[in-house]
Amino acid sequence: MRDAPRWLHPPGRLVVARGAARAAGTASRRLRGGFGVVIGGRVLLAVESDAVVALSQGRNTTLISGTNGKSRTLAQPLTYS
């Protein structure tokens, strides 16, 4: 029997990191701090530095990088999927 992909059963630290990131993003949005994406990502990586690798396993990914317009660019594909 094959082992389930790691992203199906993430390690405890990753679970905590995701919860903290979601809480930070929610707080940022409620306090009118923007979309809450940047702070959530920073919290996620502060708690678990390998989070991006673990969460992207078994998935097709798109990297959006730059200095302006990332939040809107990220939000648009999510509304169409």
Q: Please indicate, yes or no, whether the overall pTM of this predicted structure exceeds 0.85.
A: no
Question: What pLDDT is stored for residue 2 in this prediction?
Answer: 55
Tally Cβ neighbours within 10 Å of residue 12: 8
Rounded average pLDDT per 10-residue block, the chain, 81 residues: 56 89 92 82 90 84 65 58 48
Q: How far is CA 33 from each of CA 39, 43, 65, 72, 76, rounded to the nearest angstrom?
A: 9, 15, 20, 15, 19
Question: What pLDDT is stored for residue 1 in this prediction?
Answer: 46
Nearest Cα residue to 29 out of 17, 38, 20: 38
